[in-house]
């Protein structure tokens, strides 16, 4: 008898350890990097043909208790935010952002948690790692690299009536 494969609803997905290693090489905790999709470091997730900018930010998980999150899915150490700014098929300016968090658990398992798949868990982990303020602000970073504080304070709010302007590639 064949078993049905059940999707892990509202839980992070396992990822290749090389993906986490690519994040670790790209950005240190407390900082961000912004890339044009064609210049993103090898190993970072892609974002599809309508992606105009990928931003990666890193912070440490604070260790606060998380409600309703399986203890085996809780981050240990750095948490990496991956943001993809996308356009629609008929417009040039970004109007969608995809967010995912990447991290290792206490036993070293690399996981990814997409904001749309599990918004409550994603929000709790983002908040407990200091990345929620960046997610809530629909903005591009002020430069192609810098500190999280700079991103929060100086991020350029997107104007939907004007063409998309990149902050340059790294």
- For the chain, the domain total comes to 1
Look up residue 122 and give its two tokens. Answer: 């994603």
pLDDT tens-place string over residues 54-101:
999 999 998 888 888 889 999 999 999 999 988 766 655 556 788 999
Interatomic CA distance for residues 40 and 54, integer angstroms: 8
User: Is 155 a member of any domain?
Assistant: no
User: Is 170 a member of any domain?
Assistant: no
3-class secondary structure, 25: helix
User: Is 167 a member of any domain?
Assistant: no
3-class secondary structure, 83: strand
Interatomic CA distance for residues 75 and 54, integer angstroms: 22
User: Is 47 a member of any domain?
Assistant: yes
User: Is 104 a member of any domain?
Assistant: yes
Q: Average pLDDT of each block of 10 consecutive residues along the chain (170 residues)?
A: 48 94 96 92 90 92 87 94 81 72 96 85 84 74 89 66 44
Q: Are 83 and 152 in contact (CB under 8 A)?
A: no
Q: Domain range holding 119?
A: 13-148
The pLDDT of residue 124: 86
User: Is 29 a member of any domain?
Assistant: yes
User: Is 87 a member of any domain?
Assistant: yes
Look up residue 107 and give its two tokens. Answer: 């036993």
Interatomic CA distance for residues 24 and 27, integer angstroms: 6
User: Which helix (H) or strand (E) is 57 found in, with range?
Assistant: strand 51-60
User: Is 4 a member of any domain?
Assistant: no
């Amino acid at each position: 008898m064949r078993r049905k494969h059940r999707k892990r609803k509202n839980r992070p997905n396992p990822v290749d350890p090389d993906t986490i290693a690519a994040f670790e090489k790209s950005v240190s905790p407390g900082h961000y990097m912004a890339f044009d999709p064609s210049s993103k470091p090898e190993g970072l997730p892609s974002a599809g043909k309508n992606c105009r900018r990928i931003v990666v930010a890193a912070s440490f998980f604070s260790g606060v208790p998380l409600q309703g999150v399986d203890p085996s899915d809780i981050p240990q150490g750095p948490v990496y935010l991956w943001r993809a700014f996308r356009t629609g098929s008929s417009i040039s300016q970004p109007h969608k952002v995809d967010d995912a968090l990447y991290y290792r658990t206490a036993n070293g398992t690399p996981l990814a948690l997409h904001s749309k798949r599990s918004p409550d868990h994603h929000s709790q982990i983002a908040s407990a790692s200091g990345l929620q303020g960046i997610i809530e602000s629909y903005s591009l970073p002020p430069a192609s690299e810098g500190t999280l504080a700079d991103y929060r304070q100086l991020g350029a709010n997107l104007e939907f009536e004007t063409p998309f302007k990149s902050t340059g590639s790294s």
